[in-house]
Amino acid sequence: MNIKKIGMLTSYRHIAKRTDWLWQQTPQQFGSWRNIQIDAQAEKPDFLLLYQFDFPKNNKQSSWIDKLRRKPQNLETDVKSLLRDVPKERIIYLLREPPLEEIVENNKNNYQVAQQYCGYISGPDDFAPHPGYMPAIWYHNNAFRELNEMPVPEKVFPCSWITSGISRTANHRRRLKFIELLQASEVKFHLYGRGLPTWAKSSGELGNKWHGMAPYYYNLSIENYADNDWYVSEKLWDALLAWCLPIYYGGPAADKLLPPGSFLRLPTLDEKGVAYIQEVTATPDFWYAAKDAIAEARQIILHKLNLLNWLSEFVSQ
């Protein structure tokens, strides 16, 4: 089989220089999946994935370009120098940030500029050249084979929520308000995350999300955006892969991707939502009823929705 090597370029600083990005999402060595190998830093890849890559605006240098270049250059020169001589038809642009009001113009700028350099452009919104669901990535450190073959981990606590203290958009602030509301109630749950405000009774930050999900029957999986038919994020994948039953707040995309009964719908982020969480988490009965659906959803995430599988199918076209 002719294995195609796929490089990656991103504006996410925490993964921008990682050679082994996504290698934990395949049972094979060195990021191989069927007919592809993901090698983010490959110098001469066959395909190049631009994964949430923020292009400079208005032909001016942006912060990430300033750090890559000592002397300012024009936009076209800067971008082309990063594309590793991969032809346009083999450059894939996947945007994964939701079209929040505060960043929607930035997303549109990325789509517009990407058309100069990329043969395929997609994102989770209606104004993307190819609107589409985000292929699945997850944030557990477990090996693929372990996730694929493992039995249900021991469940000892009712519910967890892993989130952050980000407050830069109205949707983020709404989520923080819901933390306050939930903690003022009688709902028993453990809160984890980075940058949470001091008033939030947090159990701390986690180096591996598995530790804040696997021991719990339920996980609050609350998206930053729930207003279109495309957006669904790793919050749902992470919970299901840890054998949690997600109590999910998000748009309808999840219903089209996952089997019925594999997650519960949180109706609102207000008192009604608190009452629903309290009812569900008071007993593990909902989890036991959903156990088979969770098992089915996990296999769909691992083998079908997996970004590596998406890339493999793209290359095969």
DSSP codes joined into one string, 205-253: --SSGGGGTTTEEEEEEE-S--SSSS---HHHHHHHHTT-EEEEES-TH
pLDDT (0 to 100) of residue 60: 45
Decide: 53 and 40 in contact? Cβ < 8 Å: no
State the pLDDT confidence band at 179, using cuts at 50, 70 and 90.
Answer: very high
- Confidence check: pLDDT of 4 > 50: yes
Q: Where are the domains of the chain?
A: 4-132, 144-304
For range 54-82, the mean pLDDT:
59
Query: Which helix (H) or strand (E) segment is 123 a member of?
Result: strand 120-123
Q: State the Cα angle at 94 between 44 and 259, rounded to 5°.
A: 125
Decide: 291 and 271 in contact? Cβ < 8 Å: no
What's at 20, amino acid-wise?
D
Dist. CA 80–CA 212, nearest whole Å: 42
State the pLDDT confidence band at 309, using cuts at 50, 70 and 90.
Answer: very high
State the pLDDT confidence band at 145, using cuts at 50, 70 and 90.
Answer: very high
- Confidence check: pLDDT of 66 > 50: no
Q: Which superfamily is assigned to 144-304 in CATH? A: Glycosyl transferase family 10, C-terminal domain (3.40.50.11660)
Q: What's the pLDDT tens digit per position in 6-52?
A: 999 999 999 999 999 999 999 999 999 999 999 999 999 999 999 99
- Confidence check: pLDDT of 210 > 90: yes
State the pLDDT confidence band at 65, using cuts at 50, 70 and 90.
Answer: very low
Pairing relationship of beta strands 36-38 and 32-33 according to DSSP bridges: antiparallel
State the pLDDT confidence band at 77, using cuts at 50, 70 and 90.
Answer: low
pLDDT (0 to 100) of residue 171: 93
Dist. CA 236–CA 226, nearest whole Å: 13
What's at 100, amino acid-wise?
L
For range 122-131, the mean pLDDT:
98
- Confidence check: pLDDT of 72 > 60: no
Percent of the chain with pLDDT over 90: 91
State the pLDDT confidence band at 76, using cuts at 50, 70 and 90.
Answer: low
State the pLDDT confidence band at 78, using cuts at 50, 70 and 90.
Answer: confident
Q: What does the CA dihedral 86, 90, 96, 101 come to, rounded to 10 degrees?
A: 90
For range 117-121, the mean pLDDT:
98
Q: What does the CA dihedral 220, 225, 231, 233 come to, rounded to 10 degrees?
A: -40
Dist. CA 26–CA 311, nearest whole Å: 12
Per DSSP, what are the bridge partners of residue 91?
A: 48
Segment among 52-66, 186-200, 266-280 with least mean pLDDT: 52-66
